[in-house]
Amino acid sequence: MILLMQEWFSSWLKKPVAKRVYLDHAAATPMCVAAREVMAPLLVESFGNPSAIHTEGQAAQSVIESARAQVARTLGVRSAGVTFVSGGTEANALAIVGHLTARVRAGAAWSDLEVVSTPLEHPSVLATLSELATRGVTVRMAAVNEVGVVTPAALTAVLRAQTALITMAYVNSEIGTIQPVSSLVRTVRAFTRAHNLPKITVHLDAAQAPLWLPCQLARLGVDTLSLDGGKCGGPKGSGAVVVHGEVALAPVLWGGGQEHGLRPGTENVLAIAGFAAALAWAQKNVDERAIRVRALRDAGIDQLQALVPGAVLNGPVGEERVANNINISIPGLDTEYAVVALDVAGIAASTKSACAGIGGGESVVVRAITGDAARARSTIRLTLGPDSKATDIPLVARVLMDQVALMGTLTQ
Amino acid sequence: MILLMQEWFSSWLKKPVAKRVYLDHAAATPMCVAAREVMAPLLVESFGNPSAIHTEGQAAQSVIESARAQVARTLGVRSAGVTFVSGGTEANALAIVGHLTARVRAGAAWSDLEVVSTPLEHPSVLATLSELATRGVTVRMAAVNEVGVVTPAALTAVLRAQTALITMAYVNSEIGTIQPVSSLVRTVRAFTRAHNLPKITVHLDAAQAPLWLPCQLARLGVDTLSLDGGKCGGPKGSGAVVVHGEVALAPVLWGGGQEHGLRPGTENVLAIAGFAAALAWAQKNVDERAIRVRALRDAGIDQLQALVPGAVLNGPVGEERVANNINISIPGLDTEYAVVALDVAGIAASTKSACAGIGGGESVVVRAITGDAARARSTIRLTLGPDSKATDIPLVARVLMDQVALMGTLTQ
Q: Which residues 6+ apart lie within 8 Å of A380 measured at CB?
A: A327, A328, A329, A330, A335, A338, A339, A349, A350, A351, A400
Give me the average pLDDT of each 10-residue run along chain B (412 residues): 73 77 97 96 93 95 98 98 98 98 97 98 97 97 98 98 98 98 98 98 98 98 98 98 98 96 97 98 98 98 96 97 98 93 96 64 92 95 97 97 87 58
Say what the pLDDT of residue B62 is. Answer: 97
pLDDT (average), residues A76-88: 98
Q: How far is it, in rounded angstroms, from Cα B260 to Cα B253?
A: 13
Cα torsion angle, A56, A61, A63, A66, sign:
negative
Q: How confident is the model at residue A15 (pLDDT cuts 50, 70, 90)?
A: confident
Chain B residue nearest residue A360, CA to CA: B53
Cβ burial of B153 (10 Å; 0-12, 13-18, 19+) is: exposed
Residue A410: is its pLDDT beyond 80? Answer: no
What residues of A are in contact with residue B130 (Cβ under 8 Å)?
A: 254
- At B360 the pLDDT is 57
pLDDT of residue A121: 97
Task: List the CATH code of the domain at B286-411.
Answer: 3.90.1150.10
Amino acid making up residue B179? Q
Predicted confidence (pLDDT) at residue A164 exceeds the cutoff of 60: yes
Contact A150, A343 (CB under 8 A): no
Helix (H) or strand (E) holding A409: helix A392-411
Which residues in chain A have Cβ-Cβ distances shorter than 8 Å to B256?
89, 123-124, 127, 354-357
Rounded to the nearest 5 degrees, what angle is found at the Cα of A21, between the Cα atoms of A19 and A25?
A: 110
Are the CB atoms for B355 and B325 separated by under 8 Å?
no
What is the least distance, in Å, from the CA of B190 to any CA of chain A?
A: 32
Name the residue in chain A with its Cα closest to that of B16.
Answer: A44
Give the residue on B whose Cα is nearest the Cα of A121.
B255
Mean pLDDT of A89-95: 98
pLDDT of residue B354: 65
Please name the member of A90, A254, A356 whose beta carbon is closest to the beta carbon of B253.
A90
**What does the alpha-carbon distance between residue A291 and residue A284 come to, in Å, rounded to a whole number?**
14
Q: What is the distance in angstroms between the Cα of B194 and the nearest Cα belonging to chain A? A: 35
Tens digit of pLDDT for each residue in A342-366? 999 999 999 987 666 544 578 999 9
Q: Give per-residue pLDDT as tens, A236-250.
A: 999 999 999 999 999
What is the value of pTM for the model shown?
0.96
pLDDT above 90 coverage of chain A, percent: 91
d(CA B180, CA B201): 17
Contacts of B26 (CB under 8 A, 6+ apart): B173, B174, B208, B231, B324, B325, B350, B353, B381, B383
d(CA A254, CA A265): 9
Cross-chain Cβ contact A52/B348 below 8 Å: yes
The CATH fold of domain A34-284: Aspartate Aminotransferase; domain 2 (3.40.640)
A232 part of the active site? no
In this prediction, residue B18 carries a pLDDT of: 59
**CB atoms A271 and B266 under 8 Å:** no
**Complete DSSP assignment for A136-200:** T-EEEEPP--TTSPPPHHHHHTT--TTEEEEEEESB-TTT-BBP-HHHHHHHHHHHHHHTTPPPP
Nearest chain B CA: its distance from A266 CA (Å): 7
Q: Where are the domains of chain B?
A: 34-284, 286-411
Edge-to-edge strands of the sheet including A82-85?
A: A82-85, A239-243, A224-228, A201-205, A163-169, A114-117, A138-141
Extract the runs of DSSP E, i.e. beta strands, from B171-265. Answer: 201-205, 224-228, 239-243
- pLDDT reported for residue A51: 93
Question: Up-side HSE of residue B13: CA atoms within 13 Å toward CB?
Answer: 17
Give Cβ neighbours of residue B126 (< 8 Å, ≥ 6 apart): B117
